[in-house]
Structure 1
Amino acid sequence: MRLLIMGPPGAGKGTHAGALAALVDGPHISTGDLFRDHVGRRTELGRLAEKYISAGEYVPDAVTDDMVRDRLGRPDAARAFVLDGYPRTGTQVATLDALLDARGAAVDAVVELTVPDDELVARILRRSAVSGRSDDTEDVVRHRLAVYADQTAPLVRAYGERGLLLRVDGTGTMDDVRRRVEGAVAAIAGATA
């Protein structure tokens, strides 16, 4: 099963994508992890991405597309994966559709985690204090939420129009949210089996 997990920064995508990846027996592919890996290794793509990440801006589509295309081309992602943080723009949706179509595949479902903005800001600032992530200042977080609302939320509506959207309440304990996410995916897996 090929899944996307979407939601604003701090909604818990990374936390729940790992459990979903185990459920579908495929890798959890996080663009945030791809960015940090490339930045850490000082690759050409990483140097390009770093200047945008530091400013709280989206990394340009071409850079992100190249990283994702490479990762989805690996054997472990051939039949199942959970893609976290991609696509974020209409152009990226078209790129992903074309990439999967060329392989005779398509996205099976899109899990959207919904969380109120005030809770998102508090979560991210707590995470920043614990992990020391320099890209998680309050100003940058609020800017990222605004960018998400402007650029990415319309993609959620588009996937809804395709009948692929599974909207899940992302508030509450981690276990509660995990059960909701897994239940939504199990329901769609049963419907498509």
Structure 2
Amino acid sequence: MLNVVLFGPPGAGKGTQSEKLIEKYNLAHLSTGDLFRKHLGEGTDLGKLAQKYMDEGNLVPDSLVIDMVKDKIASTTDAKGFIFDGFPRTVPQAVALDDMLKEFDTTISGMVALEVPDEELKKRLLDRGKTSGRADDQNEEKINNRIQVYKDETLPVANFYNEQNKFNQIHGVGSINDIFQEISAVIDKF
């Protein structure tokens, strides 16, 4: 099973590249944002529990996020693997993901990290904000905060996979197809 963590800061191009990778490798897309929307929208037990935490202004605990990921993996039988987009976001999530994947007799094949300079990220997000309608893509202060949160809280996940010799960095500036070719070349070695 091919399991890829697609990693990078907001605006690095993870969503764009995910679509192309899903098609090429027949992977299932696993985005925690999508999982939250699904469970909340369907009113599942996991969704109701997540809503309770959010209504109280708290972060949804890692264990609940992992349960949602586990549910998705268990219910996806036709894919050749998964592309983890925007997850794991913390080292404890990465550890929990590794432990959970063992239950399915699989593991993370590798991480592909898109490296993009901060100024390019800001430009991309502001440009995306003009068409996406996302308020967090239209405000430079919020964008700067999201980039800083990524550096402080999420970037350590790269070190976690680097210690397992699963970290692969790609320069995420250039044409979409050129970046896709570089990512594919890395994945083909997994």
CA distance in structure 2 between the aligned counterparts of 1:138 and 1:30, rounded to whole angstroms: 25
C-alpha displacement at 1:140, in angstroms?
A: 2.0
**Structure 1 residues 130-169: aligned runs within 5 Å:** 130-136=131-137, 137-169=139-171
TM-score (norm 1): 0.84
**Larger deviation: 142-151 or 58-67?**
58-67
Worse overlay, 136-145 or 107-116:
136-145
Aligned counterpart, 2:115: 114
Alignment of 1:85-96 (within 5 A): 85-96=86-97
Letter matched to residue 110 of structure 2: A
**How is 1:19-98 mapped onto 2 (pairs within 5 angstroms)?**
19-38=20-39, 43-44=47-48, 47=51, 60-76=61-77, 79-98=80-99
Count of residue pairs the alignment pairs up: 185
- Are positions 1:17 and 2:18 aligned together? yes
- The answer to whether the 8 A contact 2:91-2:160 is kept is no
List, as ranges, runs of 4+ consecutive aligned residues in structure 1 with deviation greater than 3 Å.
Answer: 35-43, 45-52, 57-60, 76-79
SS in 1 for 2:19: helix
8 Å CA contact 1:72–1:78 kept in 2: the answer is: no
Asked if the contact 2:12/2:114 (under 8 Å) is kept, the reply is yes
Matched with 1:128 is 129
The answer for unaligned runs of 5 or more in structure 2 is none
Change (3 A) 1:178 1:41: same
Unaligned runs of 5+ in 1: none
Q: TM-score, normalised on structure 2?
A: 0.85
1:46-90, Cα deviation, whole Å (9 max, x unpaired)? 6357669xx9x9754234223222212213376411111111111
Is the contact between residue 28 and residue 84 of structure 1 (CA under 8 Å) also seen in structure 2? yes
